[in-house]
Structure 1
Amino acid sequence: MDSFLRLSVCIPAYSMGGMGAQYLKTSLDILGQQEFRDFEVVVADQSDDNSIAELCLSYENMSVRHLDTRHLKRQGSANTNAAIEAAQGEIIKVLFQDDFLNGNDALTKIAGAFDDPEVHWIVTGSEHTRDGQTLIRPFVPHFHSRIQFGKNTISSPSVLALRRAHAPKFDEVLIWLMDVDYYKQCSLCFGLPKVLLEPLVVNRQHSGQVSASVSRALVRRELRYVRQKYAAHMSWGDWWHYIGRLRRTFL
């Protein structure tokens, strides 16, 4: 492996109701068509069969590394951390297996944003799809200081890229708030993100998404956890915002 590898695409994967390998194939096919070539793909796999492992072996036109992470906690934060820890690129590009890049120049634009040494993390615009073909609801991300409480104005971690050096870990206590908590961590480490307005990622919407099965009890538990985690950084306005978010889980 080239020690000066520019970028690692980190994909946490699992069976996803039997659709995991199919979704991942779509994403890998698009990665194989990227005009930017100085990258590897790291797939951290928690699926219960060999379909994803076999799929990864079939891609000879790019560097795809398959990690068996079934021994880890079965959740997205732990699996994403495993992919990031195995990555060797200067830049980490997170990409969830059911999402995919938008355009063959997406990695060129993402990597190019880091030509500025002052840029430590970026988020990009996104679009959404239900059928993998039709793109709807373009979304431009922005950060706000209370994002850790669940009002996600950035989108999924698939829009995220950051320098591997000093990259924080996803909090493995969290499920529902794992993404917004990570954006808060990055803001405290690096300041505000650079925003690429162009929709360089497509987020797939489907019934198998984790967010579709989150209980109110879990939401309350995670809200209280992040409140304790960031108590030292909270203003009175933050406290009122937290109370309002918590109150809605009882209605």
Structure 2
Amino acid sequence: MPAITICIPAYAMGGDGARYLAESFDHLCKQSFTDFDIVVSDQSDDADVETLCRAYEDRLSITHLWNRDGPRQASANVNNAMVHASGDVVKVLFQDDFIIDINGLKAIFDAMGQGADWCLCGSGVTRDGHTLMRPMTPRLTDRLHFGKNTVSSPSVLAMRRASLMSFDEELIWLMDVDLYKRLWDRYGHPAIVEDTVIANRMHDGQVSASVSKALRQRELRYMSRKFAKTTRLRGWLEYFRQRLKAL
């Protein structure tokens, strides 16, 4: 079994999906840590992602899975990939993001050591795939689960397979912060890699760019019920602030 399995939810993404994934594969080919495999859960209606996976089989260990019958959303698609992970560490990586640090996987594996249940790493954003902006080190706060995201995208997350938690498939906008909150509540603080490991790609096709106010309101109400017993005062203040923003 590999030390790390990288789980990638994929879809056509308006024709850009395979291109973004190829760039991510190129960065993975350069990693100094090589004891990893990749699981791609593919919801594309065409075969571009599957063809790309076959093209990289001589350089990377890739399992391509069709997931056309599952719910067409990121949470369900990445959950499908994680179910098929065999590594001791399960690393989430969305197809339009990539690991920019050649020592990124080694840093994550070393930080988790033999005991950490989960890990978060530093990230930045890019529009051109080269220039990195707004670097951030992840931190957990009482306001996190209501949309004050001080951690970053799901691509900064790794979990030990024995401690694996799935994304809540009821959520779209808050799917990442919901999982961070649940992991924090169950396992305590994560191992933190402060280095900038992940490049989050900014583009017009991002799901976050098309989230409606109605969806925000629905998910905020859902989260308020889900975490009613563990939300502190600062969390409730953030909840009402986000509700006002979504009016």
Change (3 A) 1:72 1:137: same
Alpha-carbon distance between aligned partners in 2 of 1:32 and 1:240, rounded to the nearest angstrom: 45
Match of 1:165 among 162, 165, 178: 162
**Superposition deviation, residue 116 in structure 1:** 4.1
Match of 2:74 among 63, 73, 76: 76
Runs of 4+ in 1 over 6 A off after TM superposition: none
Structure 1 partner of 2:230 = 233
Give, as a single letter, the amino acid of the residue that structure 1 aligns with 2:184: S
Give, as a single letter, the amino acid of the residue that structure 2 aligns with 1:115: G
Change (3 A) 1:52 1:233: same
Bigger shift: 175-184 or 135-144? Answer: 135-144
Contiguous gaps of at least 5 residues in structure 1: none
Give, as a single letter, the amino acid of the residue that structure 2 aligns with 1:61: R
**Superposition deviation, residue 188 in structure 1:** 1.2
TM-score (norm 2): 0.97
Match of 1:33 among 30, 34, 45: 30
TM-score (norm 1): 0.95
Summarize the alignment of residues 181-196 of structure 1 with structure 2, pairs less than 5 Å apart.
181-196=178-193
Alpha-carbon distance between aligned partners in 1 of 2:173 and 2:124, rounded to the nearest angstrom: 21
Alpha-carbon distance between aligned partners in 2 of 1:220 and 1:32, rounded to the nearest angstrom: 41
Structure 1 partner of 2:51 = 54
Q: Is the 8 A contact 2:18 2:48 kept in 1?
A: yes
Structure 2 partner of 1:131 = 128
Alpha-carbon distance between aligned partners in 1 of 2:102 and 2:238, rounded to the nearest angstrom: 41
Match status 1:86 vs 2:84: yes
Change (3 A) 1:232 1:22: same
Q: Is the 8 A contact 2:111 2:192 kept in 1?
A: no
Match status 1:224 vs 2:221: yes
Give, as a single letter, the amino acid of the residue that structure 2 aligns with 1:183: Y
Alpha-carbon distance between aligned partners in 2 of 1:233 and 1:140, rounded to the nearest angstrom: 24
**Superposition deviation, residue 29 in structure 1:** 1.1
Structure 2 partner of 1:175 = 172
Structure 1 partner of 2:12 = 15
The DSSP-based 3-state class of the residue aligned with 2:91 is: strand
Aligned residue pairs total 246
The DSSP-based 3-state class of the residue aligned with 1:231 is: coil
Q: Is the 8 A contact 2:82 2:90 kept in 1?
A: yes
Alpha-carbon distance between aligned partners in 2 of 1:136 and 1:166, rounded to the nearest angstrom: 32
**Superposition deviation, residue 245 in structure 1:** 1.6
What is the aligned-residue identity percentage? 48
1:55-113: CA deviations, max 9, x gaps?
A: 00111122100010111000000001001111000001110000100122111111111
Give, as a single letter, the amino acid of the residue that structure 1 aligns with 2:239: Y
Give, as a single letter, the amino acid of the residue that structure 1 aligns with 2:84: A
Alpha-carbon distance between aligned partners in 1 of 2:113 and 2:130, rounded to the nearest angstrom: 32
Contiguous gaps of at least 5 residues in structure 2: none
The DSSP-based 3-state class of the residue aligned with 1:234 is: coil
**Superposition deviation, residue 239 in structure 1:** 2.6
